[in-house]
Chains A and B, each alone.
Chain A
């Protein structure tokens, strides 16, 4: 079995290094990876990046369009009364690209390099029929407020947080707008606009990322752990253990996921601790558990299949002959060989959990408001009326799309690079 090491030195590079090189050459996969890293980093420093707190709401700024692209101006329009056909004037909002949103002119109209925004004012007017009606999200074009960077806040808030779990407090925000005294309306920068309650979408997307991005990871960790251990044990020992385990797996595979998640979610939700209902963190964990509970079976089956073939490999048989204890064989000889499969399938499976949270939110069973998650933010877009009135409520959907896409890019890249089958085949041949 000895190899002439000097003859082909590049071959001696470990399969991992080989895979890494292959992965780095794959531009699509790298893009996916970079997007994911960016998303996770921004989620971690959401408190610093976000211009507001996650539950800050300003009623004046309800349904503000994305300032990144522009804003609404209020206009007085001549029209006729729909019933009496007499001429009347009504107030209407009209879209103005860029200049209505973030712009580079100060209040005097002079060009500056500092971005400025207009204050947002909500006004109560009468419509063509003389009924009171609110015109929302209009800007006051006569006032331009400078956007300040690295503003410090009075109250300390969480600036860094590991996906919502361990926080560090600070007093700095990346940007903010200061309201001058006597201002009518709301001073604030809403790059992606606000929802119907006047909460900044960018802020909620950033904080929602902490939940939505971690749901997938946590679920996959749990399913991987269960799937690999159960699959590994049943594949290695075979016999009645295998029989029982595989029947259980089959049962889980035969029950439609959504039923199980709904029932489980409803069940876990009912749990009360000391008469108090679950906190939002616990609800979140319950959803994770419910989704993980239905996901492990498929993985266990594949891992079992792999272990089944690895078990007959020479090096395992050799280890057995040497009297290496079973748990050591499993830990050091067999499971490492399933790692590449695990990584690839995990990466490809994370999106299904992210989308799963969206589906649960559609049924109203996902993460509960006011906590933000991408799924429950998108719930607002699920009312066609709201979607057509305030189309920017789909922005969280764009982020879901991006994340899932990035995971798929990366997962495919990893598969090509690691090629789990190739690894096993190589072992077989060696």
Chain B
């Protein structure tokens, strides 16, 4: 054992040498300078046509992969005896085919799960996993980017768009064998989601201004009617977020001051977790894994008469560290990995040649990284201003924000920090968002314009270091923070410091724990500038981000929870979003969204920087993988996947 370090050193030395390469050079030697000159010339010719605005997103048609066929005579294609007979009317009748047996394992970035309660779980880990256990009325097809029938086989909406009728499938059963009826649906909505004593975020989607919440009622055993008081553009999305829970289990837990439902379905009692999903949970070990087995009462059937899901076991492996997770996948530790870090791409690219997994290059992400300045004019509890008044004056000056936006070379960020694997962005929505992307005015890299704007603000004098001084002789300097856990963002703020120094603005960097950032954004508000990112929801509808965009929103970063809009443009933007949430016509909503993007682009309250490329990987042993840019990228069709080798 004591020789271990020597071994490791040797091994690492070998690794290093191997990585340096040592093979005989092959191929034609070329001069990189020539290649660069040629590329520059090409870029210059191309740039001549570009203007101030971005080109619109290419509207590539959605490609839907055809389903694989299997030999249905194979003994493994026969429906196992563990499935109980069910008669579902109408059945799902999916085109998918597969063979039974085996284990599929998912590498999930996470630590532990606080609860399996689909309503009160508040971390990403739990909410992605809830759909394994529970179904909602309406599903979502990540491949076609549209809603799909699930527990409700069809739905209708009245001409005034206020009354929705959902027709449930008959014969669907919960994993304890009880049948699902309209009562369960009404219970879920009226007694849990809309229960004020059950704090949850699913209810947010049903709120439109101060209008009362919709009323869900039972029409007959398999029909539910929802009556809204106002038109809600995102009603279907909101319904799709709600997992239906069995009334017979939880009927008595939703009353009182502190409903027991809030702590129901904790990890200590897995038996109690009953849903209509394709799987049921069998074991959970914090920090290690969550294990699922097929729901014996699963109601999902295929056109060829098979019952879903195919595997004997589905395991979600919890890994806390993203790098460890990548290494584990490459060491054949599990079958799916989503959200591969850009810095790990090369390793996956090289190993892909070994041929045992597919690396899915999903293109630009929907997630965006941005920089924002604090414009919060409020006071701290002790009466002092949250932001130093002279700095607040800069941050609230649109010229300053535009100047910083002009100073930031986003292409360089993409090149240096993402190694070119990403795209520069200038607005709220990345180009990958085929439905909602719209070009808007951009304040692209232009140090001359940036200097000019700062000069016009009267910040012309400079000190010995070349840093600008204001009229009172104070250095133009601000604190820029980001979360220390994210190595990429730490590099971003480092670069931003350099960009700002080039136009005479000093930046002090602070890498802090994420917890501090969230307490800063949510409560303390004494930060000066911050670099963070937004992750996109599914579906990527802008109204999913009401919290971010509305001036009263909790995550309206530069000045959250405004009692009334503190600037005219904020009022205008709020108005636009208000309009959007009450129009159901997609094309009209897109027009309004375009207006919103333009308003916010002109203000540069949030200076958008880049979207990385998304990569995910699956082992070849998994059948029916249909990767999608929307999360969960590789296993969103978890009910259709199967293990080719049956192991």
Question: A residues near B, CB below 8 A?
Answer: 55, 57, 59, 62, 65, 69, 73-78, 91-92, 94-96, 119, 121-125, 129, 131-136, 138-143, 184-185, 196-198, 266, 269, 275-277, 279-280, 363-365, 368-370, 379-380, 382-386, 388-389, 391, 394
Select the stretch in B186-194, B343-351, B537-545, B624-632 that faces chain A: B343-351
Instruction: Say yes or no: A91-B323 contact (C-beta < 8 A), given A129-B361, A136-B419.
Output: no
Contact A140 B27 (CB under 8 A): no
Q: Give residues in B with beta carbon < 8 Å to A.
A: 15-16, 19-23, 25-33, 35-37, 39, 323, 326-327, 341, 343-347, 361, 384, 388, 412, 415-417, 419-421, 479, 484-485, 487, 490-491, 493-495, 497-498, 508-513, 516
A366–chain B nearest beta-carbon distance, Å = 9
Q: Are B39 and A124 in contact, CB atoms less than 8 angstroms apart?
A: yes
Query: Are A125 and B323 neighbours in the complex by a CB distance under 8 Å?
Result: no
Contacts of B498 in A (CB 8 A): 55, 57, 370
Contact of A139 among B32, B39, B347, B421 (CB under 8 A): B32
Distance (whole angstroms) from the CB of A30 to the closest CB of chain B:
25
Give the complex CA separation of A77 and B28 in angstroms. 7
Q: Which of B28, B323, B412, B491 contacts A382 (CB 8 A)?
A: B323
Give the interface SS of chain A, mostly helix, strand, loop or mixed: mixed
* 16 pairs of residues in contact across A and B, judged by CB atoms under 8 Å: A59-B412, A75-B26, A75-B28, A91-B35, A96-B25, A122-B32, A124-B420, A141-B29, A142-B31, A184-B33, A275-B388, A277-B510, A370-B497, A380-B487, A383-B487, A389-B343
Complex Cα distance, B105 from A236, in Å, reads: 65
Which residue of B has the minimal Cβ distance to A66?
B20
Chain A residue numbers with a CB within 8 Å of B490 are: 364, 369
Tell me the minimal C-beta distance from A387 to chain B in angstroms.
Answer: 9
Residues of B within 8 A of A142 (CB): 31, 33
Closest CB in chain A relative to B276 CB, distance in Å = 39
Q: Which residues of B contact A382 (CB under 8 A)?
A: 323
Assess the B416–A364 pair: CB atoms within 8 A: no
| CB-based closest 3 A-B pairs | A364-B484, A77-B27, A95-B21
Contacts of A121 in B (CB 8 A): 32-33, 35-36
- Shortest distance from the beta carbon of B354 to any chain A beta carbon, whole Å: 13
Give the residues in chain A near B361, CB-CB below 8 Å: 129, 131
Docked-complex contact A266 and B27, CB < 8 angstroms: no
> Given A74-B29, A185-B36, are A62 and B416 neighbors across the interface (CB < 8 Å)?
yes
Q: Which residues of A contact B341 (CB under 8 A)?
A: 383, 385
Contact B415 A266 (CB under 8 A): no
Q: Are B39 and A123 in contact (CB under 8 A)?
A: yes
User: In the complex, are the beta carbons of B36 and A75 less than 8 A apart?
Assistant: no
Taking a contact as CB atoms closer than 8 A, the residue among B21, B323, B415 that contacts A385 in the complex is: B323
> Are B19 and A135 interface neighbours, CB within 8 A?
no
Cα distance A280–B35 in the bound complex, in angstroms: 41
Q: Please, which residues of chain A bring their CB within 8 A of the CB of B509?
A: 368-370
Question: What A residues does B388 contact at CB under 8 A?
Answer: 275
Q: Are A388 and B19 in contact (CB under 8 A)?
A: yes
Q: Which has the most chain A C-beta neighbours within 10 Å: B15, B33, B513?
A: B33
Which chain B residues border A131 with CB–CB below 8 Å?
A: 361
- List B contacts of A198 (CB < 8 A): 416
Asked, given contacts A62-B416, A369-B511, whether A78 binds B27 with beta carbons under 8 Å apart, the answer is yes
Contact A123 B327 (CB under 8 A): no
Whether A76 pairs with B30 at a CB distance below 8 angstroms is yes
Q: Quote the shortest CB–CB distance from B499 to chain A (angstroms).
A: 11
What is the bound-complex CA distance between A129 and B421, given in angstroms? 14
A173 CA / B633 CA spacing, docked (Å):
52
Selected contact of A74 from candidates B31, B37, B485, B497, CB within 8 Å? B31
Tell me, rounded to whole Å, the shortest Cβ–Cβ distance linking B605 to chain A. 22
Query: Are B508 and A279 touching (Cβ within 8 A)?
Result: yes
Return chain A residues, CB-CB under 8 Å to B493. Answer: 369
Cβ contact within 8 Å between A364 and B323: no
**How far is B417's CA from A302's CA once the two chains are assembled, in angstroms?**
49
Q: CA of A121 to CA of B34 in the docked complex: distance in angstroms?
A: 10
B28 near A391 with CB under 8 A, answer no
Least CB distance from A70 to B in Å reads 8
CB contacts (< 8 Å) of A69 on chain B: these are: 20
Q: Which residues of A contact B323 (CB under 8 A)?
A: 382-385
Which one of B23, B26, B29, B384 has the greatest number of beta carbons of chain A within 10 Å?
B29
Residues in B neighbouring A122, C-beta threshold 8 A: 32, 36, 415
In angstroms, how far is the closest chain A Cβ from the Cβ of B608?
21
Whether A76 and B27, one on each chain, are in contact in the complex, defined by CB atoms closer than 8 angstroms, is yes
* B15 pairs with A391, CB closer than 8 A: yes
- Given A123-B36, A383-B343, also A133-B29 (CB < 8 A): no
- State whether A369 touches B28 (Cβ < 8 A): no
Q: Which of B15, B21, B29 contacts A388 (CB 8 A)?
A: B15
Closest chain A residue to B507 by CB distance? A370
The chain A residue with its CB closest to the CB of B488 is A383
Question: What residues on A are CB-neighbors of B22 within 8 Å?
Answer: 95
Q: CB within 8 A of A185: which of B32, B508, B512?
A: B32
The CA-CA distance from A90 to B415 in the complex, in Å, is 19
Please give, as numbers and ranges, the residues of chain B lying within 8 Å of A363 by CB-CB distance. Answer: 484
| A59 near B415: Cβ-Cβ < 8 Å | yes
In the complex, residue of chain B having the shortest beta-carbon distance to the beta carbon of A269: B512
Residues of A within 8 A of B27 (CB): 75-78, 92, 94
Whether B25 and A196, one on each chain, are in contact in the complex, defined by CB atoms closer than 8 angstroms, is: no
Say whether A386 contacts B343, CB under 8 Å.
yes
**Closest Cβ–Cβ distance, residue B568 to chain A (whole Å):** 29
Most buried by B among A142, A279, A389, A394: A389
Say whether A391 contacts B32, CB under 8 Å: no
Evaluate contact between A184 and B508: CB separation under 8 angstroms: no
Whether B485 contacts A73 by the Cβ 8 Å rule is: no
Query: Pick the contact of A389 from B346, B384, B484 — CB < 8 Å?
Result: B346
